[in-house]
Amino acid sequence: MTTFEAGYEQKIVVNWTIPQGADTTVAVRPYTLTDPNDPASVRIYEDYSTGWSARAQIRKKPGLDPWVVFTSAAVTGPRIELGADGWIRVVLDAATTQGEAWDTYKTGMWDLELIDSGGAVTREVAGAVTVSHDVTRTAV
């Protein structure tokens, strides 16, 4: 699991290398500071477990079909887990990346949007995607 921590006031950039045919997770924990002018001030983490939802997609580039779609409503497969402790986990399971289509994917981009209880959307995370192709397959 790759874990990053970044300030909430700015978009978090996370470049994601996806190991084809393996489970992978990106986790981020946005925060605000009690004093934005003092980086040593207390960090405040949001409780994302109630009143929030999230969505994310991976594509070659904007406007093209998504390679995979994540939502916080999903409980298995590609999904987003929103934690009471402020952690946001984007989970990509091995089965999703084992298909032949993933053999053709090399580089792309992704982003994650958070939706608060009032419906306001914030693009919280974005970055480049690189697929690390596997050699070992379940069926030979």
Instruction: Profile the chain (140 residues) by mean pLDDT over runs of 10 residues.
Output: 44 92 94 85 92 97 97 98 97 94 96 95 93 81
Judge contact between 28 and 48, C-beta under 8 A. Answer: no
Query: All domains of the chain, ordered by start, with CATH?
Result: 2-33+40-132 (2.60.40.10)
Q: Tell how far CA 91 is from the center of its chain.
A: 7
Between CA 91 and CA 81 the distance in angstroms is: 8
pLDDT at 7: 47
Helix-strand-coil split of the chain, %, nearest 5? 5, 45, 50
Between CA 61 and CA 127 the distance in angstroms is: 11
pLDDT at 140: 54
pLDDT at 77: 97
pLDDT at 99: 84
pLDDT at 50: 95
pLDDT at 48: 96
pLDDT at 11: 72
- pTM, two decimals, is 0.87
